[in-house]
Amino acid sequence: MAGFRVFLVVFTVCVVCVLTECKYMVYNTSQGIVPGKINVHLVPHTHDDVGWLKTVDQYYVGSNNSIQGACVQNVLDSLIPALLADKNRKFVYVEQAFFQRWWRQQSEAMKKTVQMLVSSGQLELINGGWCMHDEAATHYIDMIDQTTLGHKYIKEQFNVTPRIGWQIDPFGHSAVQAYLLGAEVGFDALYFGRIDYQDRAKRRDEKRLEVIWQGSKSHGSSSQIFAGAFYAGNYEPPTGFYFEVNDDSPVVQDDINLFDYNVQERVNDFVAAAFSQANVTRSNHVMWTMGTDFKYQYAETWFRNMDKLIHYVNQDGRVNALYSTPSLYTDAKYALNESWPLKTDDYFPYADRINAYWTGYFTSRPAIKGYVRMMSGYYLAARQLEFFRGRSKSGPTTDSLADALAIAQHHDAVTGTEKQHVANDYAKRLSIGYKECPLLNISYCPASEVDLSLGKKLVVLVYNSLGWKRTAVVRIPVINDNVNVKDSTGKLITSQLLPIVNASIAKRKFYTSAYMGESPSTGPMYWLAFTAVVPPLGFSTYVISSGKPAASASIKPKSYVFDGSQTGAIEIGPGNLKLIYSGDDGKLTQYTNSRSLVNISLEQSYTYYSGDDGSKDLQDLQASGAYIFRPNGTFPIQSEGKIPLTVFRGPLFDEVHQMINSWIYQITRVYKEKEHAEIEFVVGPIPIDDGIGKEIVTQIKTNIGNNKTFYTDSNGRDFLERIRDYRADWDLQVNQPIAGNYYPINLGIYIKDKNTELSVLVDRSVGGSSITDGEVEIMLHRRLLHDDGRGVAEALNETVCVRDTCSGLTVQGKYYLRLDPLGEGSKWRRSFGQEIYSPFLLAFTEQDDKWTNFPRPTFSAMDPSYTLPDNVAIITLQELEDGTVLLRLAHLYEVGEDKDLSVMATVELKRVFPNKKINKVKEMSLSANQERAEMERKRLSWKVEGSNAKQETVSKGGPVDPVKLAVELAPMEMRTFIIDFNSNLVQY
Amino acid sequence: MAGFRVFLVVFTVCVVCVLTECKYMVYNTSQGIVPGKINVHLVPHTHDDVGWLKTVDQYYVGSNNSIQGACVQNVLDSLIPALLADKNRKFVYVEQAFFQRWWRQQSEAMKKTVQMLVSSGQLELINGGWCMHDEAATHYIDMIDQTTLGHKYIKEQFNVTPRIGWQIDPFGHSAVQAYLLGAEVGFDALYFGRIDYQDRAKRRDEKRLEVIWQGSKSHGSSSQIFAGAFYAGNYEPPTGFYFEVNDDSPVVQDDINLFDYNVQERVNDFVAAAFSQANVTRSNHVMWTMGTDFKYQYAETWFRNMDKLIHYVNQDGRVNALYSTPSLYTDAKYALNESWPLKTDDYFPYADRINAYWTGYFTSRPAIKGYVRMMSGYYLAARQLEFFRGRSKSGPTTDSLADALAIAQHHDAVTGTEKQHVANDYAKRLSIGYKECPLLNISYCPASEVDLSLGKKLVVLVYNSLGWKRTAVVRIPVINDNVNVKDSTGKLITSQLLPIVNASIAKRKFYTSAYMGESPSTGPMYWLAFTAVVPPLGFSTYVISSGKPAASASIKPKSYVFDGSQTGAIEIGPGNLKLIYSGDDGKLTQYTNSRSLVNISLEQSYTYYSGDDGSKDLQDLQASGAYIFRPNGTFPIQSEGKIPLTVFRGPLFDEVHQMINSWIYQITRVYKEKEHAEIEFVVGPIPIDDGIGKEIVTQIKTNIGNNKTFYTDSNGRDFLERIRDYRADWDLQVNQPIAGNYYPINLGIYIKDKNTELSVLVDRSVGGSSITDGEVEIMLHRRLLHDDGRGVAEALNETVCVRDTCSGLTVQGKYYLRLDPLGEGSKWRRSFGQEIYSPFLLAFTEQDDKWTNFPRPTFSAMDPSYTLPDNVAIITLQELEDGTVLLRLAHLYEVGEDKDLSVMATVELKRVFPNKKINKVKEMSLSANQERAEMERKRLSWKVEGSNAKQETVSKGGPVDPVKLAVELAPMEMRTFIIDFNSNLVQY
């Protein structure tokens, strides 16, 4: 049969290829760290913006996918089985706003599974705030609150405390983030993606991307943190290692039965990328952030490929790949016991490339920024009130406001870098928490607009959330002109009544129609002002009634028209402070204080920058937009003619009204009892009929010789020195002499020379600078016509519409300025800054026949003979679900800031809570998720290159004696306590 | 304390909104059918093309996602946990090429889980072939093979048989699909998406989308099937109910704690869509195909939303929603015991809108179509050889060719509607199965190109896979001109040697360089032809050696140039058939057969249609493309001058060579022993320098008065009557008088009048028609410059490149024509058609000194005295893994087709397998996955509207007597057996 065999040999040439039976493949993913090799820490993560192109809920449920395909529910739903499939797989999750939405929907069995995964370390909750807050446009109190909110849930549900700060996307990084929201919440490290491109280049060259960051001058090394800027300036995987559903990175094809087997090729890619990163990284540990925005929609796609990479890369052996987390990575770095470069100050401003300074967002959407700040102060006060009343188990609580405010701290929320519909969503959430007088900001407040001529009386309750007694003028809109004000003892007090100007009434009508859907038939005609005096943590009441003749001083305006008829300067101010306006043209010329003897020439004006449309340079198509400030020209705003001054002089304060042009209106107030000027601006609609976007700044000019140096706050807390056209960390290549010198301002900005300080305080987050010596400027509003190419895909062109008629959004706000002799400015900046943050809270009720008098005319929670020290504020006073109380106290001064107040302060808790019995006081970490002592015990002790930090002495308050219950606070110290009261002694 | 309470009332207005704690939600998805309501059967499915824009493996692993985001591994990986999460959830999976790739990779535990899901009915495997084969460009043998391959795995792994035909995407539907691949594989129903838009409109109006389809005239109601065309003409969910990751249909948002709660809105949408579909559907059951191409990448996204819809829609109560499968839907329809409309014939051609006839793909990529057909015949023969040898347990088998061929039947493979790189992939897969002489088709065959002048001998083994003895001319390329041929007895036989024309040699060089990377230094110069006589299922050998003087008749060409010098006609043909060419211009004029006395004028020419570029009508931007044939003009192809005839006359056959123009070369062969003309065409590169795509047809013109009527085969099996500009099922609105009359041809096309039949048989799938009476045309090649907008996103512009030089692809092929007296054509069409499908298979070996003679010169597997009846073919003869043998026998004639052969035939199995002992013969369903009797027992008995089908008698072969082992086959009957041989009696 040989012949036939030959024949078959011939014929079976055709059938040589047979699919080998392939067995189920088990990948070895158990690899740990291998000393002596480059260890590539694969950190699977998703970055889930708490609102940006879609709203937070749209992102959660995955609706509105035509804008962006993103569904956080998918991420978490698909993650759990992926982790269960291989115990070596790991994942970090960050944003608790999303995580808690998901958690609520899970079965008990699933919750147990997730608890097991967290407990085993497979799923690690890092950062752990409600959102990944911004670091420029946020106030430190909001940062603390939103972090505390997230950490609380994590602690309750999993009994863990996040170890890692993970601020991977915010657009620059603040000192407060590093020391306060980093070290002080017990984080072992802080990681982020975005630092200036020039800075990053140098740090890569010098292997200084990873540093020890001491963000606080006052705290020094006691609040330092290991801080790593990512290699590539983002938080994404190396090119070619994206494994999301539908991503086009090559998947690892290791099935030899299929075409395009590519294991060696992919291993080579991996090794090359690892070496590339290792070349600019200290030590042989590198981290790969395996994920990006809203990835892991189907988590298995990532893990499937990472499993294979770990398996085959380790078979290859040139580098070592492992599943890791930032915690494990940090531990690996720490275990090396090396010294790291020191970093102080902050990472602002941020440019991601030439001419692309992310300093526009410091001011973008100023109305939202104002709303957030207003709600922030309100929330602080509301929690105090909730505590006094006793937190309701079933009824309304401050929780929804907490949620809304926490969401609003997201780095695409208060930043103004979200789409318009998302901005609307944030505002809607805030408004749900704040139902009363929602448009008070533009003089719409029905509660106070009672027609008192009908015999009704209006009770005004004025609440002071500060720990100090406080005296300030209150202004409320009223309908009648024949009114008087009595204090709670029934004594008539001084009040003044100013007519509301026509422009303001028209604006009110338009905005009321736009936002309320209807315009009120009658509106207030007057501002009634009186001085309220309120005890700490307490209220006073005032009764407003019709009185004939009116007891209020009814102020008539006096107009100055500069046609030559006016001779001599115009002096404004009923008290020590006088502002002098020129008799020639009505411009502000002089600031003089008869007490402090400061007497200085002062100008104040408006300027706009034309927003670059990105077209002038084909190599650099960068427009000014929501993120980026790129001015294309500076244009002083000239009034159409000379500006008439309209002056209202009264017993409590003087007002100067100036119509700067058809879209800028300004009121300057000088109070009898205050030594600062309050400037209320109404800016908008910014005209764009010339096709040019504009960014409006106000400039305050003096002859102070500040030598390029100015000071801006870090999230409203520490002041940092800024030097124009200079960076401490590298030789700055100056391409944008304006935008590149802008810094975020949440509290204020000041300049000084050897004699004088000029301070400007703000009522919301803004951007500002000192572009020329003697000058301070802050950006008030922006309206731009081009998207700046960072993803939001909308021009920052806010409008307000009534029916089909839209016009640019008008913004109303205030800033405050004061001049002091050198060294005396901080008292005002700190104490009045606190008052700006926590204004009097007003409530109204009509008094009818049943109440001849308001039942409880005044109240203070504190011992009547006690007040907090001038250098301490209550940052948090909040009853928790379990009846314990969260108390945060903050020293307001930095070391050396004020000659009197930069000292140790003491708060006597017994006198703060005179009516309650304090059972126990536990000092906690800043986010209150662990005891302070425990946190300090676990704190990693990093070594700083070339420093002998041990010699440094940092002053801190001592332990709280359980009997004395006196809390010491050193400069800038913030202390957090959980207080257990004896609950049956509630006495309010 | 009343006062303080009042105060708190005032203040707590702000905190009304509290997130209600939301419990884990359990959805009620258990709903079954509710009589009296509209039942919406939600059928979760994915449609996974076995290659289209990406290759099959790229689709499986999810690579090349930049072209299309699609990964079948994701679908199946994510499906299993989704099904496990709720036992009411269901899914149907279709394409076994993908499913088996996945199955191989699974763990034993996972396999058990999947088996459980299949067993419980949660996961149903339907259709179940290796792919969802096309129905126009496929041969029935390939359809059977690829379906059998898939069904075999399903049976082995799950012990189930698919119940449903699910041809949801193919572009029109064939009669063979309905009766053979539907009823005869035991399907209870057949569902599909695409039927002509005019047809669908009428069927919707008349509620006739669902029918009883009797696809076979011969089988009538015995092979009928319930067949449903989908409501919307596609296989997608209703608008707004797409729930893939990142889809933008509104998700069901039912968490009252989040914004945008939309349950009622979505329920309303659902109910409206259900009513809309119910309005055009018989009975109160409607099916929603919940999925589309490559969906369920993360299956949970679909099920999550369907869970909610079922829950809330059923709470609403207006309609009833349930998880279902096509099987459950079919059962629900069947249970109604209603009568359904009757459908006969097929659903070709398909237009999805005006001017969009999907008749281009009948011819698109003719080279691939030819390759597939060649491999198909080869695979049939290879399995026979594998059986004779005994299937190897370890070595090479025909399995990879089975896989490649099965994949190539996909409705974007052999159709030519895939991207170019995917077409290359199909070809590569086929080439892996067929290693020998891969370019034989263009005369490149090293095995036969031995230089015999060196004293070597070449043994040619000629295998005949048919069940009949066969005599045919074999042509092989040789280098030497002094050769002779001896049969296996050593007898010199008649041979003829034709020089290979220069054009052919140049073409060979170019294509060899393009596909092999190098050009051979020497090439064959001659075609050596001789007549081989081969027994059934057997081979003969011939020895070619150098002989001086050469015994082969060396043919010298004679050229006729029509300059007036030629007088009188030119007669071609050494046998009964003569073709007469005009002495004036060399054109074919007459066909005359001295035996049959057919003598008829005959013209043959080429024409091109200019492909519409889609620009002429802005309302109807439809170009001619890979799918769609839309001619924009008809242009007869004129040669540049008069066409010279070059004639080769030999003892075995005459050849006429005509260079029609610079890119069409034609050789007409008339064999001494055959009564048909064989026309070999070489078409290409089709010129496009005028910017116009072209579609090339050949037209054969006679004076046959066919009265608009012609006949084309259904997948190479039944012939269907076609009437120009007419549809049996509706009043055709004729918009495309050419494209709308094109039909797929796999075997042939014929026309007839009362005297004569003209038959044209083809060597691959083509499109063709009879556009004017007396004429038959077939489209040979297409080159187009515009995409036709059906997703492939490439123009059908095939090129071949050597280095950077590309030119349009040249296609070489054959068709055959014959004229017969009326009623006598079918014998040739059927028997010679079978020879075209199963050509002689050649193998070569050099004979050196060791072998003075080839060891086994002839062979036949059958009893030497036996042959199959003329009307029966062996369609499959294949040894299975378990040693049993799969045998398929097919009667080749329809009822009434031939006066002699449309009768019951008998095959004596004992004489087919004389050397084996048959233990047992089991008759099986067509796909061999269940016993035939079991299939018939389960067959649903549908009622046809207005018919008394019981009176119809259908002739079928009787049971096989286990002793006689004689198989009867009635006209068109196909019978499938598993034969168990006594394995120790193998004798080959």
Output the DSSP codes for A466-484: SSS-EEEEEEEEES-SSEE
From CA B917, how far away is CA B915, in angstroms rounded? 7
- How would residue A7 be classed by pLDDT, with cut points 50, 70 and 90? very low
A855–B74 CB contact, under 8 Å: no
Q: List % helix, strand, coil for chain A (3-state, nearest 5).
A: 25, 30, 45
The 10s digit of each residue's pLDDT in A29-85 is 998 999 999 999 999 999 999 999 999 999 999 999 999 999 999 999 999 999 999
Query: Which positions in chain B touch A399 (Cβ < 8 Å)?
Result: 15, 18-19
The 10s digit of each residue's pLDDT in A101-152 is 999 999 999 999 999 999 999 999 999 999 999 999 999 999 999 999 999 9
From B571, B528, B525, select the one nearest B551 (Cα to Cα): B528
Q: Does residue A213 have a pLDDT over 70?
A: yes
- How would residue A566 be classed by pLDDT, with cut points 50, 70 and 90? confident
Q: Does residue B741 have a pLDDT over 50?
A: yes
CA A746 to chain centre: 9
- How would residue B4 be classed by pLDDT, with cut points 50, 70 and 90? very low
How does DSSP assign A62-110, residue by residue? T--TTT----HHHHHHHHHHHHHH-TT--EEE--HHHHHHHHHTS-HHH
Contacts of A620 (CB under 8 A, 6+ apart): A354, A355
Q: Distance, in angstroms, between B409 CA and closest chain A CA? A: 19
Instruction: Give the largest Cα separation in chain B, rounded.
Output: 133
The 10s digit of each residue's pLDDT in A480-518 is 888 899 998 989 999 999 988 887 888 888 888 888 777
The 10s digit of each residue's pLDDT in A795-848 is 999 999 988 889 999 999 999 999 999 999 999 999 999 999 999 998 887 776
Instruction: Give the largest Cα separation in chain A, rounded.
Output: 133
Beta strands in A822-933 (DSSP E): 841-847, 858-860, 872-879, 885-891, 905-908, 918-924
Mean of the pLDDT values across residues B166-184? 98
The token duo for B582 is 């005009």
Q: Does residue B521 have a pLDDT over 70?
A: no
From B881, B96, B52, B837, select the one nearest B421 (Cα to Cα): B52
A382–B259 CB contact, under 8 Å: no
Mean of the pLDDT values across residues A209-230? 96
From CA B12, how far away is CA B15, in angstroms rounded? 5
Query: Which positions in chain B touch A854 (Cβ < 8 Å)?
Result: 3
From CA A239, how far away is CA A496, in angstroms rounded? 67
Q: Does residue B14 have a pLDDT over 60?
A: no
Angle separating helix axes B366-389 and A2-12, nearest 10 degrees: 150
Give the residue from chain A lying closest to B11, CA to CA. Answer: A843
B105–A255 CB contact, under 8 Å: yes
Give the residue from chain B lying closest to A857, CA to CA. Answer: B3
Residue A640 pLDDT: 64
From A465, A483, A466, A485, select the one nearest A474 (Cα to Cα): A485
Q: Does residue B373 have a pLDDT over 90?
A: yes
φ, ψ (nearest 5 deg) of residue B277: -75, -40
The token duo for A288 is 């790969």
The secondary structure element, H or E, covering residue A265 is helix A263-278
The 10s digit of each residue's pLDDT in B253-294 is 999 999 999 999 999 999 999 999 999 999 999 999 999 999
Instruction: Report long-range pairs for A381-384 (Cβ below 8 Å, ≥24 apart).
Output: A381/A463, A381/A465, A381/A838, A381/A841, A382/B11, A382/B14, A382/B15, A383/A876, A383/A877, A383/A878, A383/A879, A384/A465, A384/A537, A384/A861, A384/A874, A384/A877, A384/A878
The 10s digit of each residue's pLDDT in B405-428 is 999 999 999 999 999 999 999 999
Mean of the pLDDT values across residues A666-687? 97
Q: Does residue B16 have a pLDDT over 60?
A: no
Residue B13 pLDDT: 31
Q: How far is CA B1 from CA A205, A541, A543, B5, B14, in A?
A: 69, 16, 20, 7, 21
The secondary structure element, H or E, covering residue B432 is helix B420-433
Query: Which positions in chain A touch B300 (Cβ < 8 Å)?
Result: 74, 77-78
Residue A851 pLDDT: 53
Reported ipTM: the value is 0.92
Contacts of B854 (CB under 8 A, 6+ apart): A3, B459, B461, B488, B541, B543, B845, B847
From CA B62, how far away is CA B69, in angstroms rounded? 7
From CA B780, how far away is CA B445, in angstroms rounded? 25
Mean of the pLDDT values across residues B312-335? 98
From CA B670, how far away is CA B820, in angstroms rounded? 16
Mean of the pLDDT values across residues B352-367? 97
Query: Which positions in chain B touch A130 (Cβ < 8 Å)?
Result: none
Query: Which positions in chain A touch B62 (Cβ < 8 Å)?
Result: 245, 251, 301
- How would residue A643 be classed by pLDDT, with cut points 50, 70 and 90? confident
Encoded amino acid at B6, one letter: V
Mean of the pLDDT values across residues B953-958? 89
CA B792 to chain centre: 19
Q: Does residue B854 have a pLDDT over 60?
A: no
Q: Distance, in angstroms, between B541 CA and closest chain A CA? A: 10
Query: Which positions in chain A touch B14 (Cβ < 8 Å)?
Result: 378, 382, 398, 401, 433-436
Q: Distance, in angstroms, between A366 CA and closest chain B CA? A: 23
Half-sphere exposure of B7 (CA within 13 A, CB side): 26
Mean of the pLDDT values across residues B41-58? 98
Q: Count Cβ–Cβ pairs < 8 Å, chain A vs chain B.
A: 272
From A439, A650, A443, A645, select the one nearest A529 (Cα to Cα): A650
- How would residue B852 be classed by pLDDT, with cut points 50, 70 and 90? low
Q: Does residue B160 have a pLDDT over 70?
A: yes
Residue B948 pLDDT: 65
From CA B466, how far away is CA B380, in angstroms rounded? 10
A12–B432 CB contact, under 8 Å: no
The 10s digit of each residue's pLDDT in B107-147 is 999 999 999 999 999 999 999 999 999 999 999 999 999 99
From CA A55, how far away is CA A120, in angstroms rounded? 33
Q: Does residue A654 have a pLDDT over 90?
A: yes
Q: What is the DSSP letter of A901?
A: T
Residue B12 pLDDT: 33
Mutate: best of B1, B4, B5, B7, partner A, most A CBs <10 A: B7
CB A301 within 8 A of CB B74: yes
From A169, A168, A174, A132, select the one nearest A349 (Cα to Cα): A174
Annotate A793-810 with b (16+ C-beta within 10 A) or e (fewer). ebbbbbebebeeeebbbb
How does DSSP assign A230-241, residue by residue? -TTSSSSPPTT-
From CA A21, how far away is CA A19, in angstroms rounded? 6
Give the residue from chain B lying closest to A393, CA to CA. Answer: B18
Mean of the pLDDT values across residues B898-922? 95
Beta bridge mates, B907? B967
Instruction: Give A783 or B642, the one with higher predicted confidence.
Output: A783
Mean of the pLDDT values across residues B570-583? 95
- SS3 of A961-978: CCCCCEEEECCCCEEEEE
Question: Dihedral of the CA atoms A127, A131, A133, A138 (nearest 10)?
Answer: -130
Q: Distance, in angstroms, between B962 CA and closest chain A CA? A: 31
Angle separating helix axes A72-85 and A96-104, nearest 10 degrees: 80
Q: Does residue A895 have a pLDDT over 80?
A: yes
Q: Does residue A745 have a pLDDT over 90?
A: yes
Q: Does residue A603 have a pLDDT over 70?
A: yes
Q: Does residue B633 have a pLDDT over 50?
A: yes
The 10s digit of each residue's pLDDT in B651-668 is 999 999 999 999 999 999
CB A710 within 8 A of CB A748: no
CB A623 within 8 A of CB A691: no
- How would residue A951 be classed by pLDDT, with cut points 50, 70 and 90? low
The secondary structure element, H or E, covering residue B770 is none
Q: Is B735 helix (H, G, I), strand (E, B) or coil?
A: coil
Mutate: best of A5, A17, A68, partner B, most B CBs <10 A: A17
B856–A7 CB contact, under 8 Å: yes
Q: Does residue B553 have a pLDDT over 80?
A: no
From CA B552, how far away is CA B496, in angstroms rounded? 5
Q: Distance, in angstroms, between B492 CA and closest chain A CA? A: 22
Residue A852 pLDDT: 53
Q: Does residue B15 have a pLDDT over 50?
A: no
Residue B491 pLDDT: 92
Mean pLDDT, all residues of chain B: 91
Query: Which positions in chain A touch B245 (Cβ < 8 Å)?
Result: 62, 69, 71, 74, 245, 297-298
Query: Which positions in chain B touch A27 (Cβ < 8 Å)?
Result: none
Mean of the pLDDT values across residues B582-599? 94
